[in-house]
Amino acid sequence: LWEIGSRDASGNVLAGDALTHDTKDTYVRAEGRLVATVGVSDLVIVETTDAVLVAAKDRVQDVKKIVDALKASGRSEATIHRKVYRPWGSYEGIDLGSGFQVKRITVNPGSTLSLQMHHHRAEHWIVVRGTAKITRGDETLLLSEDQSTYIPLGTTHRLNNPGKIPLELIEVQTGSYLGEDDIVRMEDVYGRDKN
């Protein structure tokens, strides 16, 4: 990316919120926060929600050794990412604690999540942008920004974005088990297996 990128006068390629001083021939990618450099050269610096990588440009191929070390030590960063992409959009983990989890969910325009239920968790959805069409049991709700709903444990539900802009909502999960494998799908437009 450094080789094909648009370089500044010092030979740096900057993507995202990056600020440099006395920095040369360096690639900086900042996806979520400010990355500042001082007095460095020939580096690759990549900041994502999952991790920060700082490597000499001529050693970036060795990142595989870091991944192997993460796997060998059983670290979740090797396989689980904070932002997860799905056919309907994405979700990002914001907070996690004993008996609760908070996610930011983005549903693409016209997309629909599976009709599903959970054995071990309840969910509270707060719409922060766009319009949500929600199936909750036998009810159908249409919610817009600043509105919310509660999905009790064991209740069949579905989320749909009928709008023309991305739907963004905050999901607060509570329960004894919050794993992604606690999804029982009844219907899925993307052909994913029913659990």
Amino acid at 174: T
Asked whether residue 128 falls in the same domain as residue 177, the answer is yes
Q: What is the pTM of this model?
A: 0.71
pLDDT of the residue at 3:
77
Q: How far is CA 70 from CA 45, 47, 106, in A?
A: 19, 17, 29
Q: Which of 49, 6, 48, 7 is CA-nearest to residue 25? A: 7
One domain, residues 73 and 88: no
Do 111 and 140 belong together in one domain?
Answer: yes
Counted domains in the chain = 2
What is the residue-wise DSSP string for 150-167?
A: EE-TT--EEEE--SSS-E
pLDDT, position 191: 81
Do both 52 and 88 map to the same domain? no
Q: Domain with 174 in it: what CATH number?
A: 2.60.120.10
Does some domain include residue 35? yes
User: Is residue 88 located within the same domain as residue 152?
Assistant: yes
CB 2 within 8 A of CB 44: yes
Q: Is residue 7 part of a domain?
A: no
Instruction: Give the CA diameter of the chain.
Output: 63
Classify 47 as helix, strand or coil.
Answer: strand
Q: What is the SS3 string spanning 79-136?
A: CCCCEEEECCEEEEEEEEECCEEEEEEEECCCCECCEEECCCEEEEEEEEECEEEEEE
Of the candidates 67, 65, 63, 58, the residue with the CA atom closest to the CA atom of residue 3: 58
Q: Is residue 194 included in any domain, yes or no? A: no
- Domain assignment present for residue 4? The answer is no
Q: Do 58 and 94 fall within a single domain?
A: no
User: What's the confidence (pLDDT) of residue 195?
Assistant: 53
pLDDT tens string for the chain (195 positions)? 777 788 899 999 999 999 999 999 999 999 989 999 999 999 999 998 878 999 999 998 898 998 899 889 988 777 777 788 899 999 998 898 999 999 999 999 999 999 999 999 999 999 999 999 999 999 999 999 999 999 999 999 999 999 999 999 999 999 999 888 899 999 888 887 765
Are residues 46 and 116 located together in one domain of the fold?
A: no
Please indicate, yes or no, whether residues 93 and 70 belong to a single structural domain of this protein: no
137/59 same-domain check: no
pLDDT at position 32: 86
Domain that holds residue 166: 83-187
Instruction: List beta partners, residue 142.
Output: 133
